């Protein structure tokens, strides 16, 4: 029987505040910057006024904008302790929660007051919007942290009692029906705790919803010319920020640290020497293979769980138990894929083309694993050679009442061009093709003249309510619409962040012992991790799909 707790919302130190809006922060060489997306018709002056930072400082931090700003451009805005306030101060309104009234004295700063009263600078600014500059004699409202905690405790106790009463009622009803239906009713209670993006989880004794998370990626914000390979990492980071915000609405307290690690050895080494990194509960990054070994060593030495989101070839994955590979090499997926193949085509006949003459991009590793599975499941199969494929398929199809699944174990472009010409000639109506993901990149239309089954690591249904909700959060957070592309790197960051933080919180610091039993669907990708040797874990989640005259359909 599950013990369920209601997660109360609380303030988090996730992003910095400028004016009345929140913006993500990034640290580069010890200096802090806001990450800001340029809005329509916005110039240096407007941004300067928004953040209270001189225009010269903004331009100096972004050499690439010296000749002007562009809509949607991402720039760095220096974080300053006392922003310049362009307009005359307005008297702050007293909030409706417990506060202390304080009169500014000589040498007072927001930082010194935050330390004195054990509240954050951001908390003070939230109730004193005009306090970005201080003058002797000014009145400030300081949140009474002790009184607020007492009030929150009362609310929490009441909420827990209410949820416990609901839980007891559900369990009682479950026993009235049958013990086998208990999970049905406890799942119903879980739903009560879920957010609009399905984040509901219980707080474990290890983390209690508190996380320090570092993101190490090559944002390359100093680059004078930016390309898609740079911007995708910023998009990934934005997805993480949205996930953290959503988790905060459930009571998670997340400190998010971002570091621009560039592409070089010296840059990653400099970041890894930062003492703050040793305090992290989770590290996400790096992106490039050349930097993975440095971060892997750091993770192992400091016993910090580290997610490698982009690299699919991690040499340390079999020996370093602190690594989690999100995008796995295709060959690692083959064992599970062969099982799914047999489930999907249980009552069909498989024709396999022999492609020994061309070894480049050979997929024989898959057929080597598939054949024993076909025999185990009593699935009929037959080999044919490369000559006159169309006539041979038609001949076999005419003698079988079963649907024919044609498989050629290769992604060689030369061979596939020839294969496409043959598939166009197939006359039988009961023939489908099993394709590898790389095929779509060659844009050989003839390969898709027959229904095609394939698999992928990424798929986004833009009509799905969770997807729509994500894009609503994206535009509300960053002021511009998200890009609909596959893979979508913002959703990629979102899926990864929420999966790991939720499950680490649910199962505690030994959550990896549960990881192989967890199978979840994100907005864009599936998560199903498997332990690699004596080391870390690799994601073997795969999405099966079918492409025919009706379009693309997800099988599972």
Q: What is the pLDDT of residues 324-378, one digit of tens each?
A: 999 998 888 999 899 999 999 999 999 998 865 556 678 888 988 999 999 999 9
pLDDT at 8 over 70: no
**CATH number of the domain bearing residue 446:** 3.40.50.10490
Q: Tell me if 205 is assigned to some domain.
A: yes
Please give the model's pTM, rounded to 2 decimal places: 0.66
Instruction: Pick 424 or 113 by higher pLDDT.
Output: 424
Q: Is residue 156 included in any domain, yes or no?
A: no
Are residue 380 and residue 351 in the same domain, yes or no?
Answer: yes
Q: Do 298 and 358 share a domain, yes or no?
A: no
Average pLDDT over residues 45-65: 80
Q: What is the CATH number of the domain that holds 520?
A: 3.40.50.2300
Between the alpha carbon of residue 460 and those of residues 198, 466, 475, 487, 492, the distances in Å are 17, 10, 18, 8, 10
Same domain, 352 and 435: yes
Q: Is the pLDDT of residue 251 over 80?
A: yes
Answer yes or no: do 258 and 298 share one domain. Answer: yes
Between CA 115 and CA 474 the distance in angstroms is 34
- The answer to whether position 53 is within a domain reads no
Tell me, yes or no, whether 272 and 284 share the same domain. yes
| 20 pLDDT above the threshold of 80 | no
- Residue 127: its pLDDT value, please? 77
Check whether 136 has a pLDDT greater than 80: no
Range of the domain at 244: 10-37+194-327+462-537
Return the HEC string of 79-109: CCCCCCCCCCCCCCCCCCCCEEEEECCCCCC
Angstrom distances, CA of residue 503 to CA of 195, 253, 255, 257, 518: 16, 15, 17, 20, 9
Of the pLDDT bands very low, low, confident and very high (cuts 50, 70, 90), residue 509 is: confident
Among the candidates 408, 431, 456, a domain finishes at 456
Tell me the C-alpha distance between 427 and 429, whole Å.
Answer: 6
Q: Pull the structure tokens for residue 500.
A: 């790991």
Asked whether residue 340 falls in the same domain as residue 322, the answer is: no
452 lies in some domain: yes
pLDDT at 140: 86
Residue 103 counted as domain residue: no
pLDDT digits (tens, 9 = 90+) for 395-417: 999 998 899 999 999 888 888 99
Any domain includes 512: yes
Last residue of a domain, one of 426, 456, 486: 456
Confidence of residue 80 (pLDDT cuts 50, 70, 90): confident
In a shared domain, residues 351 and 433: yes
pLDDT of residue 315: 86
466 and 323 in a common domain: yes
Report the SS3 class of residue 253: strand
Same domain, 218 and 249: yes
User: What pLDDT is attached to residue 508?
Assistant: 87
Please state which of the ranges 9-18, 115-124, 397-406, 412-421 shows the lowest mean pLDDT: 9-18
Distance separating alpha carbons of residues 379 and 375, to the nearest angstrom: 6
Proportion of the chain above pLDDT 70, given as a percent: 78
| Winning range, highest mean pLDDT, from 6-15, 66-75, 102-111, 508-517 | 508-517
Beta carbons of 514 and 492 less than 8 angstroms apart: no
Based on the domain organization, do 428 and 313 belong to the same domain? no
The burial class, CB within 10 Å (0-12 / 13-18 / 19+), for 179 is exposed
What is the tally of structural domains in the chain? 2
**Model pLDDT, residue 109:** 77
Residues 322 and 336 in one domain: no
Domain assignment present for residue 4? The answer is no
* pLDDT 10s digits, 178-202: 434 444 444 444 444 343 344 444 4
pLDDT at residue 174 in the model: 47
Check whether residue 206 and residue 317 sit in a common domain: yes
Residue ending a domain, among 456, 476, 492, is 456
Does residue 207 lie in a domain region?
A: yes
Indicate the angle between helix axes 364-376 and 330-344, nearest 10 degrees.
30
């Amino acid at each position: 029987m599950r013990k369920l707790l209601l997660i109360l919302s609380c303030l988090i130190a996730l992003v910095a505040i400028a004016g009345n809006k929140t913006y993500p922060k990034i640290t580069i060489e010890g200096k802090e910057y806001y990450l800001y997306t340029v809005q329509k018709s916005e110039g240096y002056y407007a941004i300067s006024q928004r953040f209270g930072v001189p225009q010269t400082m903004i331009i100096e931090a972004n050499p690439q904008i010296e000749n002007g700003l562009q809509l949607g451009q991402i720039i760095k805005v220096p974080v300053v302790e006392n922003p310049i306030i362009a307009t005359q101060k307005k008297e702050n309104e007293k909030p409706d929660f417990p506060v202390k009234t304080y009169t500014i004295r000589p040498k007072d700063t927001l930082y010194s007051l935050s330390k004195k009263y054990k509240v954050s600078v951001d908390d003070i600014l939230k109730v004193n919007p005009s306090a970005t500059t201080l003058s002797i004699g000014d009145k400030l409202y300081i949140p009474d942290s002790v009184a607020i905690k007492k009030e929150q405790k009362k609310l929490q106790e009441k909420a827990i009692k209410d949820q416990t009463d609901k839980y007891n009622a559900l369990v009682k009803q479950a026993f009235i029906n049958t013990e086998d239906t208990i999970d049905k009713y406890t799942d119903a209670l879980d739903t009560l705790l879920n957010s609009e993006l399905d984040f509901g989880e219980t707080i474990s004794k290890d983390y209690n919803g508190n996380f320090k998370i570092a993101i190490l990626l090559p944002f390359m914000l100093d680059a004078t010319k930016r390309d898609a390979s740079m911007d995708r990492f910023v998009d990934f980071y934005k997805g993480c920020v949205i996930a953290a915000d959503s988790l905060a609405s459930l009571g998670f307290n997340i400190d998010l640290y971002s570091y621009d690690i560039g592409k070089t050895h010296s840059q990653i080494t400099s970041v890894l020497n930062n003492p703050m990194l040793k305090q992290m509960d989770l590290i996400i990054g790096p992106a490039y293979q050349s930097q993975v070994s440095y971060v892997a060593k750091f993770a192992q030495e400091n016993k910090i769980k580290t997610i490698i989101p982009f690299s699919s070839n991690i040499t340390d994955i079999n020996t370093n138990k602190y690594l989690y590979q999100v995008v796995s090499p295709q060959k690692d997926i083959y064992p599970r894929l062969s099982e799914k193949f047999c489930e999907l085509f249980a009552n069909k006949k498989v024709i396999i083309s022999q492609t020994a003459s061309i070894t480049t991009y050979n997929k024989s590793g898959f057929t080597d694993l598939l054949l024993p599975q076909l025999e185990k499941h009593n699935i009929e199969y037959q080999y044919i050679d490369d000559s006159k494929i169309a006539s041979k398929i038609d001949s076999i199809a005419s003698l079988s009442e079963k649907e024919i699944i044609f498989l050629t174990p290769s992604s060689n472009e030369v061979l596939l061009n020839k294969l496409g010409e043959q598939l166009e000639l197939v006359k039988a109506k009961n023939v489908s093709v099993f394709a590898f993901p790389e095929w779509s990149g060659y844009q050989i239309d003839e390969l898709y003249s027959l229904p095609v089954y394939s698999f992928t690591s990424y798929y986004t249904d833009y009509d799905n309510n969770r997807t729509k909700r994500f894009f609503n959060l994206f535009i509300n957070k960053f002021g511009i619409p998200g890009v609909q592309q596959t893979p979508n790197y913002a959703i990629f960051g979102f899926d990864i962040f929420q999966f790991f933080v939720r499950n680490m919180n649910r199962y505690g610091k030994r959550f990896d012992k549960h990881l192989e039993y967890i199978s979840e669907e994100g907005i864009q990708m599936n998560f199903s991790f498997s332990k690699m040797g004596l080391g870390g874990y690799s994601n073997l989640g795969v999405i099966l799909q079918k492409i025919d005259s009706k379009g693309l359909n997800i099988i599972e």
